[in-house]
Amino acid sequence: MPISPNLLDYTLEGMTGLFAEWGEKPFRARQVFRWIHQRGEGNFAAMTDLAQSLRDKLGSAAAILPPRVAGEHASADGTRKWLFATGTGNAVETVFIPEPRRGTLCVSSQVGCALKCGFCSTGRQGFNRNLTVAEMVGQLWWANRFLSGGVSRERAVTNVVLMGMGEPLLNFENVAAALEIMLDDAAYGLSRRRVTVSTSGIVPAMDRLRERCPVALAVSLHAPDDALRDVLVPINKKYPLRELLAACLRYLENAPRDFITFEYVMLEGVNDSPRHAKALLKRVAEVPCKFNLIPFNPFPGTDYRRSSPAAVGAFQEILAEGGRVATVRKTRGDDIDAACGQLAGQVEDRTRLRARRLAAVAP
């Protein structure tokens, strides 16, 4: 049996082309696009301003299939985490963080991650596959629908950050299409300033994103020099700091914000000394930037420890004295393992990363 196209996979341009193949006019594609994304409707029969013949056609020829919710947790601070099944025993995690003036959804882009950053729980899980457009947009579709209490024009999610499981820029084409849907005024209408892609520094893809769909950019820096960053963020061996920071400057030419956000996880005795802070200021001297200092969130099996509040405060003060804005990320959802670096999901590792790690420590 042929598989019906999942309309969550389609940008407006793609859906218009699909409808043209069915002999339908472009405005019909826009109507359906709005029903799906603006109203969160998953039932063609409920799209009441469509002709009955079109509703019948869609019911037999297409589908609206977000990923299936396999689990849900609510934190004492209001944070919610959903586990979305992605087939063959795999699952990814999505986190919603409510705040007084905004609601931020942290979206996953891959089942696992291949970059092996040792301080990240996802990185220790290995890698299975990239998520489809529908699986990424479906996280947003579901969150808005759930948080509004059902089908609604009201959208609880005002900001999206691709900071969940995976390296977004290693799933470039699907991520770019998902971003186009999130930004489209006929869909979610999010501002480019309110959508952030976080990357460990995939330099060629940063340049592609700058040209294709520039949104706010956060770069996982975590070290002031190549020697340390090679250990903490192994992709640095391929794209060292000199190349990464040059790519950041190029990105700012098209970016919706006039600065890059550098994420810096604070690891006790590893990268949190005054010496590291001063070296960091020198390293980024030519890049307009802000720092987001992230207290390390522990997970089972890690050897790293969270920096003390005093060490974080001293680090922040040195950056501020050097003329840089530096904020300390408030830890949210750590009681449900939903905080930064804790997302793990369920990953059938195709890289054999875990097996190699166990072999390395075996007696």
**157-204 residue pLDDT tens:** 999 999 999 999 999 999 999 999 999 999 999 999 999 999 999 999
One-letter amino acid for residue 158 of the chain: T
CATH class name, domain 68-361 = alpha beta
Report domain extents, the chain: 7-61, 68-361
pLDDT for 54: 96
On the question of pLDDT at 318 being above 80, the answer is yes
Which residues touch 33 (CB under 8 Å, ≥6 apart)?
10, 12, 15, 184, 186, 187
Across 39-48, average pLDDT: 95
Question: Catalytic residue among 106, 117, 213, 340, which?
Answer: 340
Among 1.10.150.530, 2.60.120.10, 1.10.1660.10, 3.40.50.2000, what is the CATH number of 7-61? Answer: 1.10.150.530
Confidence of residue 116 (pLDDT cuts 50, 70, 90): confident
Cα–Cα distance between 44 and 36 in angstroms, integer?
9
Residue 110, beta-bridge partner list: 130
On the question of pLDDT at 43 being above 80, the answer is yes
- Considering only the C-alpha atoms of the chain, give the largest distance between any 2 of them, rounded to a whole number of Å: 69
pTM over 0.75: yes
Tokens 């931020």, located at residue: 104
pLDDT tens for each residue of 330-360: 765 455 454 444 444 555 656 655 554 444 3
- Tell me the angle at which helices 274-283 and 309-321 cross, rounded to the nearest 10 degrees: 30
243 is catalytic: no
340 is catalytic: yes
Question: Catalytic residue among 93, 167, 180, 263, which?
Answer: 93
